[in-house]
Amino acid sequence: MWVKQWKQRKVVPDAADRIAKELKIGLIPAKLLTIRGITDPDAARMFLGPSLRDLREPFLIADMEKAVSVFMQALNHSRRITVVGDYDVDGVTSAALLRLFMADLDRPLAVVLPDRFVHGYGLTERLLPEVTATKPGLVVTVDCGIAASGPIQTLRDDGVDVIVLDHHIPKGTLPPACAVVDPVRPDSAFPFKGMAAVGVTFYFLIALRRALRKAGWFRDRNEPALEAYLDLVALGTIADSVPLVQENRIFALRGLMAMRGQEARPAIKALKAVAGLKTPEIRAGHVGFVLGPRLNAAGRLSTAKKALDLLCSRNEIEAVNAARELDDLNMARQDIQGDVLDAAITQVETRRLMEHNGIVVAGRDWHPGVIGIVASRLVELYNRPCIVISLDGDTAKGSGRSIPGFDLTRQALHPLKDMLTAFGGHAMAAGLSLPVSGVDAFARAFAELCDQVVDRDLLEPGIRFDMEVDLDMVDKGLVRAIRRMEPFGYGNPEPVLAARAVRVESVRIVGKNRDTLVLMGTQQRGRPMKFVGFRWLYDPPQQGSLIDVAFSCDISDYNHEVYGKIKALRAV
């Protein structure tokens, strides 16, 4: 996009010099580390070479010891165990971890996943009949449960033990479970609060395997190798957009390594094949934009059980067939999403909704499985908090996305809670429901509130870049040095470089949807460099013009040449 406001992040020069010298790395990657707050050579060494040995003690998480004890009792007394998950990638991978671990113990368990359209999110009263139909003695909730006090109390009244493995913020009193394992509990001593549910579940398995080992379970049976599950932990962690630092960085890096080559899980190989992903080197972006959406498509348009069965499959032919079905669902999701997005943009433009600091659009029978993605696209286009609402009968369900600096849940939905039937979420994303009869009033109130409380400066598109470079400095050596800082994502953003006064030698728009900008640029008499702008929705620069380019650098999978992925442009 064309952006006028450019701000450079702060480098710590002395620390960069020390890191470059002691670790024998280039000064540019050393400076990039200091921008991320890593100013000590030992911390830099740990960041660049994270190890499973750096994982913290699982029993620092509140109630972990109780959870292991309750689970062990269920095993020792041969009680039926049922796992209740969620329909997104984090919930499905969490359930898959427990299912595979128990299969390795030759102790199968039942898994119940909610239907987004029938049951809603997580463990609800509407899902209880399916849970109780499995006749459980123990129910383990993953990626849900922290707000399910009513259903959990019902299970406890029926004599069923309940363990909660969650990562969401508790709302008031904890649910009446036997154990509530959640690192963000106020009384939890675990120092890192940013894990996805799949990370919490993996920690539970670390603690459980330790207890099983101590109890002699593995004297006459094989001990499950937890490292074999790290690909699933990485899938759930990256797809859930949690910060890729500390534990999450270890999970993501080790899990991505496990997804490469012929030793990868059948599900991973099958998903890569149906997506046409030929590169052996799976990176965080591939999970976020290729693998994750196909797994999520099951829960968006059909049932998440299809994604669960694929992830747990040990048969390559079965995995390919299941992956093809998810690929078909994902293509259908893209078509539906495109139709809803077009309708939403039409509403914004015809009603001039972008003149307010916050946007609400609503449509009859807009598919609830895509409204969150559409809200994200609207934020990209208009740089405002946006809520997209699907009207179905008398009920309206919405999904919202925000911009950095504005807490959607606390600053907008909470003040308007009396207009809503239910809501929940965090700073950047939230869900809500309300009567259809109240949608127009809510849309007006949301726009008026945002006009009052959203700082106008937040609405001006801006770019923060790490450092200026000459194009001649951007080569394969620099790209490989930057790649040592992967995986990139929330909490560890991909470095953004800036090149000044780049002359546009050629420019064209390509791609199936005519939404990819390709230009060649040079600085003075330097060598030319290709720049690519994906999903380019703006006017292209003119050939022969001078521009500043903010970009990340990469190596093409096709011709192995270095190129820049455009983040922002500015006319000189």
Q: How many whole angstroms separate alpha carbon 197 and alpha carbon 87? A: 13
Q: Please name the amino acid found at residue 453.
A: V
Which structural domains are found in the chain, ordered by start?
5-49+463-571 (2.40.50.460), 58-258 (3.90.1640.30), 351-459 (3.10.310.30)
**Cα 458 from chain centroid (whole Å):** 23
Which segments within 89-207 are labelled E, that is strand? 110-112, 138-142, 161-165, 179-181
CA distances from 276 to 236, 270, 291, 313 (A): 21, 10, 11, 20
Q: How many whole angstroms separate alpha carbon 48 and alpha carbon 492? A: 12
Are the C-beta atoms of 571 and 542 separated by less than 8 Å? no
With tokens 């030698």, the residue in question is 505
Shortest CA distance to 92 belongs to which of 113, 109, 118? 113
Buried b (16+ CB within 10 A) or exposed e, 216-237: ebeeeeeebebeebbbbbbbbb
With tokens 């950047």, the residue in question is 428
Phi-psi region of 435 (alpha: psi -120 to 50; beta: other; left: phi over 0): beta
Mind listing the pLDDT tens digit of every residue in the chain (572 residues)? 788 789 999 999 999 999 999 999 999 999 999 999 999 999 999 999 899 999 999 999 999 999 999 999 999 999 999 999 999 999 999 999 999 999 999 999 999 999 988 888 889 999 999 999 999 999 999 999 998 999 999 999 999 999 999 998 887 899 999 999 999 999 999 999 999 999 999 999 999 999 999 999 999 889 999 999 999 999 999 998 888 999 999 999 999 999 987 789 999 999 999 999 887 788 999 999 899 999 999 998 889 999 999 999 999 999 999 999 999 999 999 999 999 999 999 999 999 999 999 999 999 989 998 999 999 999 988 999 999 999 999 999 999 999 988 999 889 999 999 999 988 777 788 889 999 999 999 999 999 999 999 988 888 778 899 999 999 999 999 999 999 999 998 889 899 999 999 999 999 999 877 889 999 999 987 889 999 999 887 889 999 999 999 999 999 878 889 999 999 999 98
According to DSSP, residue 2 is labeled B
Phi-psi region of 340 (alpha: psi -120 to 50; beta: other; left: phi over 0): alpha
With tokens 């024998």, the residue in question is 24
Q: How many whole angstroms separate alpha carbon 401 and alpha carbon 388? A: 9
Q: How many whole angstroms separate alpha carbon 211 and alpha carbon 214? A: 5
Q: How many whole angstroms separate alpha carbon 274 and alpha carbon 122? A: 29
CA distances from 460 to 3, 381, 403, 533 (A): 9, 12, 11, 20
Shortest CA distance to 389 belongs to which of 352, 426, 340, 427? 340
Are the C-beta atoms of 531 and 525 separated by less than 8 Å? no
551 beta partners: 497, 566
281 beta partners: none
Q: How many whole angstroms separate alpha carbon 127 and alpha carbon 141? A: 12
Residue 142, SS3 per DSSP: strand
Residue 332, SS3 per DSSP: helix
Contacts 24+ apart (CB under 8 A), 184-189: 185/62, 185/63, 187/62, 188/60, 188/61, 188/62, 189/60, 189/61, 189/62
Q: Take residue 484 and report the two structure tokens written for it.
A: 């040592």
Q: Cα(first)–Cα(last) distance of the chain, in Å?
A: 15
- Predicted local confidence at residue 153, as pLDDT: 98
Torsion of CA 443, 446, 447, 452, to 10 degrees: 160
- Predicted local confidence at residue 429, as pLDDT: 85
| pTM assigned to the model | 0.89
Q: How many whole angstroms separate alpha carbon 497 and alpha carbon 465? A: 6
Backbone angles phi, psi at 314, to 5 degrees: -110, 5
Scanning 49-88, the segments in alpha helix (DSSP H) are: 64-76
Q: Please name the amino acid found at residue 243.
A: P
Q: Take residue 423 and report the two structure tokens written for it.
A: 């809501």
Residue 460, number of CB atoms within 10 A of its CB = 11
DSSP labels, 213-239: HHTTTTSSSPPP-GGGGHHHHHHHHHH
Considering Cα of 151, then 157, then 160, then 161, what sign does the dihedral take? positive
